[in-house]
Amino acid sequence: MAYSNKVIDHYQNPRNVGSLDQNDPQVGTGIVGAPECGDVMKLQIRVDDQGRVTDAKFKTFGCGSAIASSSLATEWVKGRTLEEAEQLKNTEIVKELALPPVKIHCSVLAEDAVRAAIADVRRKQEARTSAGAGAR
């Protein structure tokens, strides 16, 4: 099966590979996996006080489509608010990368990772807010 040029581009020159500090209260981490292929994906976002994603990093151990999907996802969420980032649909990734049907689960994985990272940073924010309220 041939990969599309966009998949190959993201695979050969992945954007935003790396890690952010998982313990940073402004960083949300999503780690997801696809049991059918054993791929694992970590996607992290840094959110400023206005709730905007200022940075995103990923590490994916899996096939070219999984790497390309997560690379694209980090590009897309940067600069968006959490509410906007939450709207990211795997179908947009499928379209942009021209993924074949057997690789659609890779795009689902990237969407899941974004959602998990958002949920994680929200949990941290809420914990901080309630801790702050308790201190007052």
Partner 1 sequence: MSQCVECGAVLSVPICCDHCGAIFDPQPGTDHFSLLGFSRAYALDEERLAQNFRRLTAKVHPDRHAQRSEEVQARATRLTADLNRAYAVLSDGVRRADYLLELTGGPTAAEERGVPGDLLAEVMEVREALEQARGVGDRRTIERLRQVNESKRRQTLDEIAALASGIETASVRQRRRLRLLLNALRYFENLTTELV
Q: Is 106 a catalytic residue?
A: yes
Cα–Cα distances in Å, from 109 out to 50, 90, 91, 132? Answer: 27, 8, 12, 34
Binding residues for partner 1, how many (CB under 8 A)?
13
42 is a contact residue toward partner 1 (CB under 8 A): yes
Burial grade of 49 (CB within 10 A; 0-12, 13-18, 19 or more): exposed
Is 132 an interacting residue with respect to partner 1 (CB under 8 A)? no
Token couple for 63: 């096939």
* Phi, psi for residue 11 in degrees, rounded to 5: -70, -45
User: Which pair of tokens denotes residue 43?
Assistant: 């996607």
Known catalytic membership, residue 63 = no
Q: What angle do CA 22, 58, 39 make, to 5 degrees?
A: 105
Residues 59-98 that bind partner 1 (CB under 8 A): 59, 61
Q: What is the smallest separation between the CB atom of 89 and partner 1, expressed in angstroms?
A: 19
Judged by CB under 8 A, the residue of 8, 37, 104, 119 near partner 1 is 37
CB of 135 to partner 1, least distance (A): 30
Q: Any contact of residue 104 with partner 1 (CB under 8 A)?
A: no
Known catalytic residues? 37, 106
Binding residues for partner 1, rule: CB under 8 A, are 31-40, 42, 59, 61
